Amino acid sequence: MTRIGKYWIALKRVTKAALGCTLAAVACTVIVAIIHFPYHTDAPLTRIELEAAKKYYTEAYAQPGLESQTKSEYETEYLRVARAAAEEFRIEEQVRAFVQQFNLNDRPVLEIGSGRGYLQDVAQNYTGLDISPSVARFYHKKFVLGSATAMPFPDNSFDGVWSIWVFEHVPNPEQALREARRVTRDKGVLFLFPAWNCTPWAAEGYAVRPYSDFNWRGKLIKASIPLRSSQSFVVMSLVPTRIARSVVARFGPTSLRYRRLTPNYEKYWVNDSDAVNSIDGHEAMLWFLSRGDECLNCVPPSIFLPAGSFPLIIRVHKPAQ
């Protein structure tokens, strides 16, 4: 056999091996994407589910808020973690910048899921909405008791709306998005900052608890977290879905698709232990864009939006009446 013939055979073997590896990688990507596809959409809730959520958030804020008392007397683990996260992500600074950028200081604004109202002074004409009646005592500005999915406001009530780490705790998040858009005026702006892509292992604290806490199945889940949290795995699970959903969104308003989670209302192990759904920020962006709105802080190509923490800033465009 000539030297050229040997090279040709070697080249075919290398090409075949490379093709096999490529096909295997494609197959793995497809399988991971199918497993992680957001199959769920809004569904009616049972009375027990609604009451469990209300009870949890009412009790989370129920302790006295007197600063003269020690933190251990009034502050739950939920509040401690939430406060630390707000400081880490400079939430107040971001919301103040949003208010200033869009000249919202003296215009009517709404905070959905306002909690203790620590953002009530970032704008003058502020209204806070929360499902917990125990937080009313923390407000010196307008507070309204209500649900994100059935807001007690007329259409087009606000020039600006923001919501911080709320929609991942709303059992029907598309209805909450629909309500947020409904109460926002034409050309009004939304600042939405949920915890995108909440993990299913947060509820039981797999990332922070020792292996000895779990049975063999739990140990396998804990051992898989480094791989499932890696950038390459996240890309494999999100990008194919984002491409498919982008195509669907070209044909008209989309439904919001997400993954339901089982919340832990007994122990707050880590951030989002109490999350009831996992929403991808790209999916939420498509929901607005497919209705004619615009994303003011999305940089194309949008399929590579980060999977983690970032706000969506949306300008609402409503059809002329």
262 part of a folded domain:
yes
Distance CA 44, CA 57 (A): 20
- pTM here is 0.84
42 part of a folded domain:
yes
Residue 150 CA, distance from chain mean position: 19
Domain range for 225 is 36-315
77 part of a folded domain:
yes
Give the pLDDT score at 81. Answer: 72
149 part of a folded domain:
yes
31 part of a folded domain:
no
pLDDT, block means (10 residues), the chain with 321 residues: 59 60 58 69 70 69 49 54 82 97 97 95 97 92 94 96 96 94 97 96 94 95 93 89 94 95 88 93 96 92 83 94 65
Q: Please, are residues 255 and 41 in contact by the beta-carbon 8 Å criterion?
A: yes
And the tokens for 177? 């998005």
Distance CA 42, CA 36 (A): 18
Give the pLDDT score at 232. Answer: 87
Q: Please, are residues 201 and 226 in contact by the beta-carbon 8 Å criterion?
A: no
Instruction: Give me the number of domains the chain comprises.
Output: 1
Give the pLDDT score at 70. Answer: 41
Three-state SS annotation for 151-180? CCCCCCCEEEEEEECCHHHCCCHHHHHHHH
Give the pLDDT score at 202. Answer: 95
195 part of a folded domain:
yes
And the tokens for 294? 């615009």
285 part of a folded domain:
yes
CATH, residue 74: 3.40.50.150
30 part of a folded domain:
no
Give the pLDDT score at 283. Answer: 96
Give the pLDDT score at 68. Answer: 40
And the tokens for 272? 């989002």
User: Torsion-angle region of residue 274: left (phi > 0), alpha (psi -120 to 50) or beta?
Assistant: alpha
